[in-house]
Amino acid sequence: MKGLRLDNLRVEIVAGQRTLVPVDGVSFAVGADECVALLGESGCGKSMTALALMRLLPEGGRVTAGSARFEDVDLFGLSEAAMGEVRGGRLAMIFQEPQTSLNPVMTVAEQIAEALAAHRNLNGAAARVEAGRLIEAVGLTPDKLDTYPFQLSGGQRQRALIAMMLAGEPEVLIADEPTTALDVTVQAQILALLKDLQRQRGMGLLLITHDLDVARDMADRVAVMYAGQIVEWASRDALYGAPAHPYTQKLFAVLPRPERRGERLDSLPGRVPGPDAAFVGCRFADRCPVVFERCRSEVPAFHEPRPGHFARCHLAENGFTSPFADGGGGGISLARGLATPPNPPQRLVTVGGAVDPMLDVRELAVHFPIRKGLFKRTVGQVKAVDGVSLTVNAGETLALVGESGCGKTTLARAVLRLIEPTGGSVRLLGEGLAALSGESLRRKRAEMQIVFQDPFASLNPRMKIGAILEEGMAALLPELDVAERRRRGAELLDQVGLPIDATGRYPHEFSGGQRQRVAMRALWRFRLGC
């Protein structure tokens, strides 16, 4: 067949004395001019499946069963040299975290030119022209060709990475959360671009995502993954009209909906079992709302409750009907919420006898100098933030919305004094931050934290998760002893749905979503008694 076919893939990773199985018996196909969405929570094995297909498994990882065929090519049977010709050319992958995928000491033009030379034999002026075309196709201006990755925003870096992957004109493209770092307008542009490329070139697309809206808008077929296995496989319309597996139904149930604005969101209790878990029956049994005795003792097979719609569930033997189905799929509302939100309550905090906002930013400015010439004289200013004012009251959430590169992250860093503002003022709990320095600023940092955009860059790759958590607590809560820091670290991991044994693992052993959960707990709530 044209396209990509995966049969019964099993991946094992040897980690010390443990053998992890993040992917166990996965099968699906991606045809030419078809988009297949691989959907599921963080830690389900989606990215590991893609890495196995690309033969880019981490150290200690190996494929122990299954086959992967790309048209007439057995991917697992190729030598590394032969795979190097396929990888990045006919078969390419867009990674989730652009900061770790781009070379920090090469310009965008050099990195795109490298791919063009390797896979299309384009060099010199011809490569420069094609690089400019690719950059414009992903929504960047030609001047970005001569910039380094650190000079770009997170969204711009992701677009540059997409341009580099498209340079090889792939026949099948694997996109691992390609729009996570992008704002909604650019996200729509990139997804439309990928869709256009499919139609123009007959390209297959394997889209790895946790976003139900993205999967609905892009996919022809959807594979739902849980704990290393595919648990449901159907066309997009069939799955969104009437999901058959209880896990898929719960994913839809937790979606926020306009008619439930102001109510507490539904949640899926528990966590995805780790890759070292030993299973007896159904892998979803401990979290399933309709579990029964057979689920805990017998592994469910794939059943076909409706033609072309498969579910790995005992209930699907008899054509299990989704509680969301209403005959036309209208029971699942994926609207992005256009209803007018209620006015939030104005909660103020009393500071020194006066009532002030918790955070008060006035006319904040951040200007970066433009230097040219031999002596690097300042010839102008880049006004990344120019006179922004905002307030945040206690118990209130303020959303800062804008396109990539418009200054949102720079504003956040300046508010916390991670970069020094050029002008304006910031007051936290009534106290001005500009006057703080040294020890007084260090103490204040316990009350103002940030969760960064790129979780992998936020975590020290040479430290285990337990040490990362304890380091933050040691700096901000020095009165805690080692035993108490470890206890609180275990509680923090449990709150974000990670097992306690995660303290002994390194950041690269987690998925992108799991790393972001670690980053959230490593950076805040130390003052709340946790």
Under DSSP, the state recorded for 87 is B
Question: Structure tokens of 263?
Answer: 């109510």
Torsion of CA 433, 435, 437, 441, to 10 degrees: -30
Instruction: Tell me: pLDDT of 348 over 90.
Output: no
DSSP state of 470: H
Least confident range of 210-219, 336-345, 356-365, 378-387: 336-345
pLDDT at 333: 36
Strands of the sheet containing 302-306, edge to edge, are 91-94, 172-176, 204-209, 35-39, 221-226, 229-235, 309-312, 302-306
More confident residue, 463 or 328: 463
Please, which residues bridge with residue 309 across strands? 306
The pLDDT of 335-349, averaged and rounded, is 40
- The reported pLDDT for the residue numbered 367 is 93
What is the Cα–Cα distance from 314 to 305, expressed in whole angstroms? 11
d(CA 394, CA 379): 42
**Listed ranges 21-30, 70-79, 175-184; the one with the highest mean pLDDT:** 21-30
Residue 291 main-chain phi, psi, to 5 deg: -65, 145
* pLDDT score, position 216: 92
pLDDT of residue 327: 34
Can you name the residues that pair with 90 across neighbouring β-strands?
none
24 versus 202: which is more confidently predicted? 24
351 pLDDT higher than 50:
no
CB-count exposure of residue 308 (10 Å: 0-12, 13-18, 19+): exposed
At residue 268, the 3 state secondary structure works out as coil
- Give the separation between CA 125 and CA 131, rounded to whole angstroms: 10
Q: Does 178 score more than 50 pLDDT? A: yes
Phi, then psi, of 439 in degrees rounded to 5: -65, -35
Per DSSP, the three-state class of 163 is helix
pLDDT of residue 388: 93
**3-state class percentages of the chain: helix first, strand second, coil last, to nearest 5:** 35, 25, 40
Amino acid identity for residue 177 in this structure: E
Report how far residue 433's alpha carbon sits from residue 435's, in angstroms, rounded to the nearest whole number.
5
- Determine the Cα angle at 396 with ends 454 and 346, to 5°: 160
- Under the banding of pLDDT at 50, 70 and 90, the label for residue 355 is low
Q: Is the dihedral of CA 491, 495, 496, 502 positive or negative?
A: positive
pLDDT category of residue 148 using cuts at 50, 70 and 90: very high
Instruction: Classify residue 329 by burial, with Cβ atoms within 10 Å: 0-12, 13-18, 19+.
Output: middle
pLDDT-based confidence at residue 526 (cuts at 50, 70, 90): very low
- Domains of the chain (ranges; CATH) run 1-77+207-257+266-336 (3.40.50.300), 344-445 (3.40.50.300), 449-530 (3.40.50.300)
CA 418 to chain centre: 24
User: Is the per-residue pLDDT at 524 higher than 60?
Assistant: no
Residue (of 274, 264, 229) closest to 247 by Cα position? 229
pTM metric for this prediction: 0.73
Query: Which of 211, 218, 223, 213 lies closest to 190 in space, CA to CA?
Result: 218
**Per-residue pLDDT tens for 76-129?**
999 999 998 899 888 999 887 777 789 999 999 999 999 999 888 899 999 999
